[in-house]
Structure 1
Amino acid sequence: MGDSRPMIGTGIADILRVAQRISYMVASGLGSHLRRSGLRCADFRGAGLHGNGRRLVFNGAFRVASLSLLFALLGVCFSVADDDSNESAAVAITELKSFVWDFSRKDDQGFDGEPDGWKRATGDSYPSYVQYQIVARDPDFERNMLKIDSSTLRPWLKLRSQFPSLPALPPSIADMTVDRFVRIELDGGQFTAQSPSIEASRMYQYRFSADIMTKGLRHDTARAELVFLDESNQELARHSTVPRGGTSDWTSCQVELVRPPVGAKSMMIRIMVQRSEDGLEDIRGTIGFDNLRIEQYPQLQVVTDQTRGVYRVGQPITTTAKIMGLPAGASQIQFRLLDHDNRELASELLSVNHRGDPVSKDSASKDSAGVLAETAPRSVDSDVTWQLPHVDVGFYRVAASIVGKRASTLSTDVTFVVIDDLVGGPPHGPFGWTLPRGSSQVPARELGPWLSSLGVAWVKYPCWFSPTDTVAAEETAALLTRFQDNGLQTVGMLDLPPESQIAKYNLRGRRDLVAAQLFRDVATWQPLLEPLMTRLTLKVRTWQLGADRDHSFLGRPRLRDSINAISTGLQGFGQPIDVAISWPWLEEELDESETSWQAICRSSDPSLAAHELDAFLGLEESHSRGSGPRTWLLLDPIEKSRYDRDSRIRDLVLRMATVRGHRVQAAFVSDPHSEENGLLRPGGRPDELLLPWRTTSRLIGNLRKTGSLQLQSGAQNTVFVGGDRAVLMLWSAEPTEEKIYLGDNVQMVDVWGRVTELPVHPDPVQPSQHISIGPVPIFIVGADPSLLLFRMSVALQPTQLDSLLGLVQPLRVKFTNPTRESMVGTVRILTPPSWAITTPIRNWEMLSGRSTSEPFEVVLSNVAKIGTYDVPLQFELETVPPKLITVHRSLIVGPEGLDIKILTRLLRGNELRVQIEITNRSNRTQSYDCLLFPPPGRQYQRRFVTIEPGETTRREIFWPNGGELVGKRMLLRAVEQDGSRVLNYPIDVTR
């Protein structure tokens, strides 16, 4: 420009003088204009002005804004000389792109109130009378700023006479300061508008965010979408914010990092207001959209040298971070190795080797959408490799993040597991997976060994392909052979025909793609399936009709004949087959005489809890004579989004344990790759429930649930035994410790597969292992199976002693010899001091497989209290070396059929109330003389109580100055009238 050269030579002091002149002219001229306009100083405090009497003063914020505006104008109006120095070249290296629609003046240069280049949907469902325009968030502030714009015109003209190169009109303060948004006013109907498209690249991933406001919505919801398009502008994928309804203030909604799908060339933003699913629409309501932003991020991917992330213990592990689209300035990768509890085990900061040259500043351009964005340097693949330190068995994550001043924080992670055998040989038992279509993430030759290493014993595999697809037939036959070579029980699944074959089945719609409809016409399906079945029935005998949870056969008439005909038709020229169908748990299984299938796969939604599954399986077995269809079931983990990790682990392990207590042939995870209910991440790498599932499958898969132990800690447990191996599973709602002797070579295995030795702690009374127990189950291995069975066989008879003080009562200890040899030893009862046993130690001898019962005589003293007692029973076995085993059993002292409940409460006035509630569950009337003894220093109180059969009687006793009794112990002594019982009941006084 002609007048630009003198300005280029102007020093910074001259520019500041110009800015000062502008401030003075605006302050003096604008102030008088404002006063003539009747505006108050208070109207502009938000714009950086304040008033002092009649004088209008600009504060620092407004001066800064004025200077910023001046420099912006100078940058537009005056040319800048080129500078090829290294410093300028460095400045030309730009950051990653960011595309923003904030609906300021740059997005509405046509002054029509609508964003430039946006297209609005039209049609019957999208009426034009729904208002759509750019408005200010604060209309009053906008009005005041427009008045300022009007008042600056005359001072600007004076300034322009001194600087002719300035624009004809002053810059708009309103455009600089007013925050605007897109407002939609509803009047019935829906609304959709979309932005111009902008370039998308698979070199990058994108984060999308939008500010959304709603007011007065009852049926409609508002959301924003990031849409990827191909070169023909056809939609490939969309990613939506969470729909918002009702009335909500401005909320930032985000779509986290997404990568454009294959074939994507461009992307756009779509804002939408949609009616409810039932078709109802709002007649009134307001929606706002603002700050629509697409941010570009590098592609950061972390991989390991084992693509599926499964390592054997001791195997070296290498992880590599692969980066695409990395800007200059981001030159390091921070690696962190984390365990299953996100504890950091190791870290490493490594430099990135850049192998690309940045683009020159001449390549910076305005995007095709008209959105000004900085252009990233040309990038090529970079990678950084980290050799991990040695790690033990367990579940791990490697987190990687980009470190650099000019790169936004970006991180990702990769999971892997380190496993050991736990149990020798291939997996056995009922636990397996259904492999959905797309399981080709693992090469066919590696799939069988990989599944076996993860504890999978059963596999369902979809096998429905076109009769002319000989390649698929050969590959499937080879894969099924490999499954069997690896010891996997294999089930073929006929779930869905190939897409090209669906039209031949004459279905009414996609909802009819279920087994009962697909197998309706034998003349249709038999020719299409005969080539497949002729080839594959030589490999697989059992076939499931329909997918998991396909309950379409339910309620079908003459089902026995239908399934029999399907089974016969599928055999064709192949081998005889067994057929399985799916059946919901909430529907009763048909009688054996009405069935012709060999297996039935049970399921429910939501999944049954462990105790519910136990009840359903028990009920089913009570109705079955053991010769009907074999029982299968689905055993999916509960939802990741609803439950914490430890709750999901406990639920899964307990249900797997329940299966081993019933006649269940197979239990399948229906989709191991499910992000919500699976064991693997969608890409096939380990997720946090894989190892708990594997550990449980390997440890108890071929064992039977035989019972449980009564433990002193109260921890819940299950004993599994098979052959010469036994496993004890322990868990407790609250952390506790159990001291118990289980053998000499005992180990603890947690759900992650980590093994810990449990040494025997010496003790003169009872040597024992000390086991820490918590909410997540643990497994005890190496325990002596005969020792566990012996512990479970011990019982007291009776389990309740009457409160007959001073009288002899019989008590017997029963137990069984589970070994193959004779057993000799002694048994001793350790009783409370208030009990007396005439002969506490008795000798015994027992043949293999036999049971015995040793008698004792118990006398309760006058101070013996009623309640439940823990009675230790000590068995000393005459083995080499001798073994001492302590078993704990519960024994109740008190009259049978009489329940006593006592509550204390401190009332107003410092009075203590003691409420005695006695329930008589016997068939005779009982009367008691109740004496309540306080601590020493107070007089006892007395009440007579008579309780009729089946009734409950209450008595209340009040004590003055009750606060003195809180925290102390009272004693209720109830003496039976016309009887010999005396009940001593201790009472701990509480508020």
Structure 2
Amino acid sequence: MPAATAFDQPNCSVEDGNRITAMPQRNSAPKRDRHRGRVTGGTIIRWFAVAMLVMIFTRAGGDLRALEPSPSIHALAPVPTKPIAIESLGWRFNRGSDQNYDAWPDQWRRYEGVGYPKYVVAELKSHDEEFDAKMLRIDRSTMKSWKSLRESIKPLSEIDRVLVPPQPLLLSTGLIAMKAARFLPTLPPSLVDALSDQYFRVQLDGGQFKVQSPPIAASRLYQYQLSCDVMTEGLRHDSVRVELVFLNESGIPIDVKSSAAFTGTTPWTTTSLEMVRPPVDAKTMLVRLNIERSEGGLEDIRGAVGFDNVRIDKFPQLRITSDQSTGVYKSGRPITLSANVLGLTTTDTQIQFQLKDVNGNTVDSAILPIKTTTRAVMFDDLRLQGVASNSKAFRDRSHSPLMESSVQWQPRLLDPGFYRVEAIIVAEAVARGSAPRARLGAHTTLAVIDPTLGGTPHGPFGWTLTRGDAGLAPRELAEWLSDVGVAWVKYPCWIGPEDTPKAEAIANTLSRLQDVGIQTVGMLDSPPENQIAKYELRGRNGIVAAELFRDREIWQPELEPIMSRLTLKVRTWQLGGDRDFSFLRRPRLKDTISEISKGLQGFGQPIEVAISWPWLERELPVSETSWDAVCRSSEPPLEANELDAFLALNEPDKRVSDGPRTWLLLDPIKKSEYELTDRIRDLVLRMTAVRTHRVQAAFASTPYDPEQGLLDDNGSPSELLLPWRTTSRMIGDLRQVGSLRTRLGVENAVFVGGNRAVVMMWSSDPKEEKIYFGENVKMVDVWGRATNLPVQSDPVQPHQKISVGRIPVFIVGADPMLLAFRMSVDVTPEQFDALLGKKQQLKVHFTNPTREPLVGSVRVLTPESWAVEDPIRGWEALAGTSLTESFDVVLSNTAKIGEYEVPIQFELDTLPLKLITVYRNISIGPDGLIVKVMTRLMPSGELRVEIEMTNRSAIAQSYNALLFVPGRQYQSSFITIKSGETVRREIFWKNGRELIGGQMTLRASEHDGGRVLNYTVEVKR
């Protein structure tokens, strides 16, 4: 049996652990009838049935999955939940995979070298050695009786002349036996060979292990799925991976896809690599089983690893594309989607489209028949599949049709937002022959934007384009980047000195970017591959700026042609890639960078130089620097509050000097470790921190990274592209100037610039804030969807209702003057002493934020237990001046201790009149005294009330505490609290259950003082 077996019906399989158990057989030959001298018919039939059973399994090559199911089985089979492959290749590691019985799978190669010792034992082992022992005993019994069985076939074939009268059943058996006699071998087939279920086991002993399968053909017409069962026992340091390796025509690996890692103790688990498309130039592929040491170099000396059921399934290749290669559309523009299928073997096929929004809700759908064209199979494809060019199979298959199918669909016009489009093949027969309905899918993503949203793409937010133009024409690239809010671009520019066409293309691209207002930075991170040897580096890890720019005589001639050309267009240049910290702790760094800058400038225009520097390293004093910008970063990225703190620490020096400008990297947190909501919130808040400080540029360094980028690997939008774009367009050209004090404590940040203002709001818990921002105000979510916020009428203050949650929202169209006025309002004091019946002064401070004089009135709306002699005051304020209005407040005997929300209403004499109401919290309570009252229902049925007083003032205080309960006699307790002490008193009420859910009042009168403290106590269990 070959090591790699093609299974015609891969959906017909036997689950792990299933066995076929044979009935115990006799140890002697069939007995003969003593009276008639003839073989007993029933005995012969039983022996013959056993022999046929053994022959069937051994003819199947020992692999149950090679059996052809009957058509009736297909008719009754359930619809599969996974697509059916058109071909499958696999290794089950059973006896058929070990033709030479050396306990090693045929044609598999073990890697031997440093770190991969030979003494690590690897061999084929049985899953169930007891079962194999039983089968072996049956084999031995069969061996003893096999000769007699073969001799009995001939008499059985003549049974029609022996039996009197003739018996139809035995006559039919005789006909079968005549045919069976032609292929019955001299030695009996082995049941243990046919039925033994083995796996590949590696016994760890302090070394790594790697083994690979023989190569098999790979074609870019198809996509492949690799699956393998893995088991680990007692791994502490080592990890296990299964890899699919693609090789070029010379047998050199060009791409490797790896499974998740296994370690510790893991029961048999199926790991898989889903739908992998071979890379360009891939001709063959193989499976590699890896056991690797830890990153720290530690290896396991005990433990075991098992591999089983290695399988590669080949599927038709389905791709879905849009008529906009970037997947970004402007709202109102039609969208055309195309589904293309290669390698399909049936014409009875439809494509089901589903378009879903970011929440997974279906927005539109369609089922359309696909148009199919055919072409001949390429000769190269057949040769790679092992078909000899001079064989009949080659001639036949070279003329067989290969289906190329496609269909187009235009969904309805979409509102701004993020969308996922799924295309599914719906076919009656994707597998060869009759098969249940099979489904194979692909998806792409779309981002629909409102081009009028927010300001122009100016500000600090940009991308590092490590892929260069990513295959887009310069005009298309510039338009796309501008549409998604990119204001800065780092572009790789290190090319060969003779590569004039590439230099021309880079210059054209940079010009296009600058035409749409994008700031450009040239990046000198790595020379062309054919020049690396000139720099005498120690391995690939040596490709860092400090090593590349070590010898001016090497790098200057290589870079002078491109620099002379591009310095006319690009002023700022970064030495090394992002996170290249190779200049850190280099001696004479100021002089080194200065010399590099002069060498790069050559005969071109003066340039500015930037280098990378980690956040956790102290930035050098200005006197020790010669570079113009420094790009800060860390791994993992700083959280929003950490970034804010680092930037705040860095700012004092920058305000008084002309030191290097601050850049930073702003990559999202990892997709595999955080929920989407957390990733969006973290990214938006860090972008907010950038606009709070003096940061010139903030770059997404890996925009194409599916894990920490803004796009998928193929360039289509990821879930974070629109949140990044919306935030960039909303606040990119604005500066954070503060925040509003809201009634519900919703977190917010106010951004202003020119005559435009944006308020960003978010909350850990869902809240509905009521606040007035002006007329014609909209709320925009991170997906770019705008909602009108109508003004709700209210006698105290007309307002808008704003629903806020964990993901920030943006309020656009807010009145900048109104926001500035709100933020300027403050009150003093924030706490009144509990001096009932005595005047205390409340001061209201505010500023005229306009450039014109302002006239208006202010009114304090106090609680009923507060008395204000003159609650309304008129005022006049010159441009930019601040005022203070004072109000005399008297607390009545019913004023209770606690915190009060006090509305302060301003009416501005503008055209039209503006009413602005702000809310400030003012507390009532004695200075330095903290009072807590707690209730508890006791097992006896009494209610215990505990009064706790803490004195933080410098003098002792005494109070007569009276506790009032409606309908009952009050109780009292005299309490003296020394400075710095806490005193507790307990009061008990009978029939306490009757008081649960009600209220009681604590009135504490100061002994020899004017304070009266009124507390409302909620009675709880």
TM-score category (smaller protein):
0.7 to 0.9
Residue equivalent to 1:386: 409
Question: Contact 1:426–1:486 at 8 Å: present in 2 too?
Answer: no
Asked if the contact 1:738–1:772 (Cα under 8 Å) also holds between the matched residues in 2, the reply is yes
Structure 1 runs (4+) greater than 6 angstroms displaced: 31-34, 63-76, 363-367
Task: Give the CA deviation at 1:467.
Answer: 2.1
Structure 2 residue 86 is matched with structure 1 residue 96: yes
1:911-959 deviation per Cα after TM superposition (whole angstroms, max 9, x unaligned) = 655554444333333333444445644753525141314x544555566
Structure 2 distance, partners of 1:937, 1:989, is: 15
Matches within 5 A, 1:209-608: 209-328=227-346, 331-356=349-374, 378-407=401-430, 408-423=438-453, 426-608=456-638
Given candidates 129, 137, 159, the residue that maps to 1:139 is: 129
Tell me by how many angstroms 1:307 deviates. Answer: 0.8
Deviation at 1:294, TM superposition (A): 0.6
User: What is the CA deviation profile of residues 248-297 of structure 1, one whole-angstrom value per residue up to 9, with x for unaligned ones?
Assistant: 21111111221112222222222233333444433332221111111111
The aligned residue for residue 876 of structure 1 is: 907
Determine which of 76, 79, 96 is the counterpart of 1:106: 96
Find 1:824's aligned residue among 848, 851, 855. Answer: 855
Partners of 2:546 and 2:120 in 1: CA distance: 47
Distance of 2:419 and 2:53 partners within structure 1: 51
Distance 2:914 2:51 in 1: 93
For residues 99-121 of structure 1, what are the alpha-carbon distances to aligned partners after superposition, in whole Å with 9 as ceiling and x for unaligned?
12112333234444332332333
Is the 1:433–1:668 Cα contact (8 Å) retained in structure 2? yes
Counterpart for residue 199 of structure 1: 217
Q: Describe the shift of the 1:639–1:190 C-alpha distance in structure 2 as closer, same or farther (beyond 3 A).
A: closer
Q: Would you say the 8 A contact 1:95–1:327 is kept in 2?
A: no
| 1:839 aligns to 2:870 (yes or no) | yes
Report the Cα offset of residue 505 of structure 1: 2.7
Q: How does 1:775-786 map to 2 (within 5 A)?
A: 775-786=806-817
Bigger shift: 231-240 or 390-399?
Answer: 231-240
Task: Note if contact 1:918-1:947 (Cα within 8 Å) is conserved in structure 2.
Answer: no
Cross-structure match for 2:721: 690
Show the counterpart of 1:885.
Answer: 916
Q: Which residue of 2 aligns with 1:3?
A: none
Could you tell which deviates more after superposition, 279-288 or 780-789?
279-288
- Percentage of pairs with the same residue: 55
The letter for the 1-side match of 2:491 is Y
Q: Against the structure 1 CA distance between its residues 985 and 149, is the aligned structure 2 distance closer, same or farther, given a 3 Å change threshold?
A: farther
Instruction: Give the paired residue count.
Output: 920
Q: Structure 2: which amino acid aligns with 1:121?
A: Y
Partner residue in 1 for 2:179: 165
The one-letter amino acid of 1:457's match is A
- Letter aligned with residue 824 of structure 1: V
User: Given residue 787 of structure 1, which amino acid in structure 2 is its aligned partner?
Assistant: L
- Other-structure match for 1:48: none
Equivalent AA in structure 2 for residue 391 of structure 1: L
Please tell me the residue identity of whatever aligns with 2:250. S
Q: Which amino acid aligns with 1:415?
A: T
Alpha-carbon distance in 2 for matches of 1:64, 1:541? 88
Once the 2 structures are TM-superposed, how far is the Cα of residue 865 of structure 1 from its aligned partner? 2.0
* TM-score, reference length from structure 2: 0.84
With over 3 angstroms needed to count, the CA separation of the structure-2 counterparts of 1:104 and 1:574, relative to structure 1, is same
Matched-pair contact (CA < 8 Å) for 2:489–2:521: yes
Q: Name the residue aligned to 1:641.
A: 672
Checking the alignment, whether the CA contact within 8 Å between 2:27 and 2:142 is kept in structure 1 is: no
Q: 2:931 aligns with which of 897, 900, 919?
A: 900
1:663 correspondence with 2:694: yes
Amino acid at match of 2:129: P
User: Partners in 1 of 2:678 and 2:606 — Cα distance?
Assistant: 44
Partner of 1:727: 758
SS in 1 for 2:726: helix
Matched, 1:30 2:35: no
The answer to whether the 8 Å contact 1:806/1:862 transfers is yes
Relative to structure 1, is the Cα distance of residues 954 and 455 closer, same or farther in structure 2, using a 3 angstrom cutoff? Answer: same
Going from structure 1 to structure 2, the CA distance change for 1:911 and 1:462 (only over 3 Å counts) comes to: farther
1:976 to 1006, 1010, 1021: 1006
Q: Distance in 2 between matches of 1:696 and 1:740?
A: 22
Label 1:584 to 1:339 Cα distance change in 2 as closer, same or farther (>3 A): same
The AA in structure 2 aligned to 1:196 is P
Which position in structure 1 is the counterpart of 2:705? 674
Q: Which moved more, 1:761-770 or 1:736-745?
A: 761-770
Matched, 1:864 2:854: no
Distance 1:532 1:380 in 2: 48
One-letter code aligned to 2:554: T
Which string of whole-angstrom CA distances, capped at 9 and with x for unpartnered residues, describes residues 750-809 of structure 1?
Answer: 111111111112334432211111111111111111111111111112221111122111
More moved, 326-335 vs 391-400: 326-335
TM-score normalised by the chain length of structure 1: 0.86
Q: Distance in 2 between matches of 1:339 and 1:184?
A: 47
Counterpart amino acid of 2:179? Answer: S
Cα deviation, residue 196, structure 1: 2.2
The residue type paired with residue 889 of structure 2 is V
Amino acid at match of 2:674: Y
Say whether the 8 Å CA contact 2:246–2:282 is kept in structure 1: yes
Which residue of 772, 785, 800 maps to 1:741?
772
1:180 alignment partner in structure 2: 198
Other-structure match for 1:43? none
**Distance in 1 of aligned mates of 2:50 and 2:990:** 77
- Using the TM superposition, give the Cα deviation of residue 431 of structure 1 relative to its aligned residue in structure 2, in angstroms: 1.3
Unpaired runs of at least 5, structure 1: 1-22, 37-55, 77-86
Displacement after TM superposition at 1:165 (Å): 3.4
Deviates more, 1:453-462 or 1:324-333: 324-333
RMSD: 3.5
Q: Residues 29-68 of structure 1 correspond to what in structure 2 (within 5 A)?
A: 30=25
Moved more, 95-104 or 419-428: 419-428
CA separation in 1, counterparts of 2:136 and 2:877?
104
Displacement, 1:971? 3.3
Q: 1:803 aligns with which of 795, 813, 834?
A: 834
Unaligned runs of 5+ in 2: 1-19, 32-42, 62-71, 76-83, 157-176, 389-396, 431-437
Question: Hey, what's the Cα distance between the residues in 2 that align with 1:794 and 1:744?
Answer: 21
**Alpha-carbon distance in structure 1 between the residues aligned to 2:555 and 2:119:** 54
Going from structure 1 to structure 2, the CA distance change for 1:893 and 1:460 (only over 3 Å counts) comes to same
